[in-house]
Structure 1
């Protein structure tokens, strides 16, 4: 069953009518509905096309948070062969909000690390909605260093509203863990490709997204704080979240123009959640293309280019 977003209500009504007509035809095969169904489907497809060709930043945020949007486990299942998950930070414990492991991506051994939000109530609780605690970032550091030791390219899949904000995380050094993960990304001597597949929230995202190449799905978002959080700070009201989303330039198109990300990956009409297999395959194609361009570079060059890339952000010249 498809989950519709608020702005998709007209589409939901038309697709609902199509389903009603098909059920009617099943009950009474003598009823001819093909012409009416074709007209409704064409109209629904046009509405979908129109809606997704002009999404506002707030609507893109809704799409990025869609419960059916492909998550880390979906990408791993379709893109990574012989995936072997690795757990624990060797300091405190395991954090299921960040998953990682080794496997084979289209003929090459890789390390894959990413946030997992979960797809239903049980798995969302297990993975803490993709909000990692310090041990999650320390696990990521452990796996990145392991990848460097064995010369494995690193692929990160980012999808989090932000790092876990609870007392336990602060007690165990959340800020320090995020900083060390970001620093580890910068210092890796192997290629690091990051893909923002859903939400890229705050330092919780940057800790895995400081890569040689940063890709972003068309309707994903990437920001220093959630629009709701920004609205509560700036206007003392969550009612201004839509205004904050627009002002913060959180969309892939904005960020590509600003030079924060390197490439925008087009999504199927209606978003990644409508054509999950297609989106995952096309993301894999983009990762493979980017890896081919980085694999010939030595460790020192990879480190230098990565640092120069991030140091250049926000520079507008010398006064």
Structure 2
């Protein structure tokens, strides 16, 4: 069943009417409503295209958070073979909001790491809605270090509102764990590619996305803070999130102009949640292209390339 966003309500009404007509036809086989249903389908398709052809930054935030978007687990299951999960930070616990392990991508051995939000109430609670604790980042550090030792490319899939801000996480060194994970991204001598598949929130995302190549899905977002958090700080009013989203320049299109991300992955009309299989396939093609660009680089070249990228970040679009 399609879950509609606030701005999609007119679309929900049209598609709902078309489904009602089809339900009546199924109940009464003598009724022919094919022309009426086709007309409503055409109207819905035109409205869908109109709604998505020029989304505002706030609406992109809503699409990026849609619960039906493919999550990290979906990409791992569809794109990677022989996935062997690795658990724990060898210090405190295993953080289920971060998943990772050894796998094969197009017959190439890799280490894949990502945030997992969960897909229903039980799994979302277990995964802490994709908000990693220090042990999640320390697990990622351990896996990246292992990848560096064995010469395995690293693929990270980013989808988090941000690192978990709870008291326990702070007591266990949340900021230090994020900084160490970012440092590990910068110093491993293997190809590191990252895809922002939904939300890229604050340092919690940067700790996985300090990569040689960073791609974003067309309607994903990547920012130092959520629009609601920004509005609460600047205007003391979280309802100003639309203005904050505009000011943050958090869309894939803005970030590509600034040089923060290297490529934008197109989404199906209506967002990734309307055609999950096509979205996953597009992400797979992007990962393959990014890894191919880096496969002949030496350890020194890869590290130099990564550091140069982040030192120059933002300079491309400052005049825009």
Fold-level similarity (TM above 0.5) = yes
Equivalent in the alignment of 2:91: 91
**How far 1:198 sits from its partner (Å)?**
0.1
* Contact 2:259–2:315 under 8 Å retained in 1: no
Q: Contact 2:257–2:316 (CA<8 Å) still a contact in 1?
A: no
1:171 aligns with 2:177: no
Corresponding position of 1:300: 300
Deviation at 1:74, TM superposition (A): 0.2
Equivalents in 2 of 1:314, 1:293: separation in Å? 22
Is 1:243 the counterpart of 2:243? The answer is yes
Report the TM-score, using the length of structure 1 for normalisation: 0.98
Map 1:203-218 onto structure 2 (within 5 A): 203-218=203-218
In structure 2, C-alpha distance between the alignment counterparts of 1:166 and 1:126, rounded to whole Å: 15
Does residue 223 of structure 2 align to residue 223 of structure 1?
Answer: yes
Superposed, 1:92-171 pairs within 5 Å as 92-171=92-171
Q: Are 2:49 and 2:269, in contact at CA under 8 Å, matched by a contact in 1? A: yes
After superposition, the C-alpha distances for 1:185-234 in whole angstroms (9 at most, x for unaligned) are 00010000000000000000000000000000000000000000000000
Structure 1 residue 316: Cα displacement = 7.6
What secondary structure, in the 3-state scheme, does the structure 2 residue paired with 1:273 have? Answer: helix
Secondary structure at 2:92 match in 1: coil
Q: Deviation at 1:315? A: 4.1
Instruction: Indicate the SS of the match to 2:83.
Output: strand
| 1:165 counterpart SS class | coil
SS in 2 for 1:32: coil
Contact (CA 8 Å) 2:222, 2:252: kept in 1 or not?
Answer: yes
Tell me, in whole angstroms, the C-alpha distance in 2 between the residues paired with 1:74 and 1:15. 27
Secondary structure at the counterpart of residue 10 of structure 1 = helix
Distance apart, 1:239 and its partner CA: 1.2
> Shift of the alpha carbon at 1:139?
0.3
* Partner SS state of residue 158, structure 1: strand
Please tell me whether residue 35 in structure 1 is matched to residue 44 in structure 2. Answer: no
User: What is the TM-score normalised by the length of structure 2?
Assistant: 0.98
- Partner SS, residue 303 of structure 2: helix
Superposition deviation, residue 289 in structure 1:
1.0
Is 1:309 aligned to residue 309 of structure 2?
yes
CA shift digits 1:258-293 (9 cap, x unpaired): 111100001000000010011001100111011111
Partner in structure 1 of residue 21 of structure 2: 21
Distance in 2 (CA, whole Å) between partners of 1:198 and 1:76 is 15
Alpha-carbon separation, structure 2, partners of 1:109 and 1:245: 39
The aligned residue for residue 255 of structure 1 is 255
Deviation at 1:313, TM superposition (A): 1.4
> What secondary structure is seen at the aligned counterpart in 1 of 2:272?
coil
Answering whether residue 288 of structure 2 is matched by residue 288 of structure 1, we say yes
CA–CA separation in structure 2 for the residues paired with 1:88 and 1:116: 15
SS in 1 for 2:273: coil
Unaligned runs of 5+ in 1: none
Contact 2:193 2:211 in 1 (8 A): yes
Tell me how far apart the structure 1 counterparts of residues 84 and 107 of structure 2 sit (CA, whole Å). Answer: 16
Q: CA RMSD in A?
A: 1.0
CA drift of 1:314 comes to: 3.4
Partners of 2:128 and 2:207 in 1: how far apart? 17
User: Which whole-Å CA distance do the structure 1 matches of 2:277 and 2:220 have between them?
Assistant: 17
- State the secondary structure of the residue aligned to 1:43: helix
Distance 2:161 2:294 in 1: 29
Could you tell me how far apart the structure 2 residues matched to 1:175 and 1:103 are? Answer: 29
Could you list the runs of 5+ residues in structure 2 that have no partner in the other structure? none
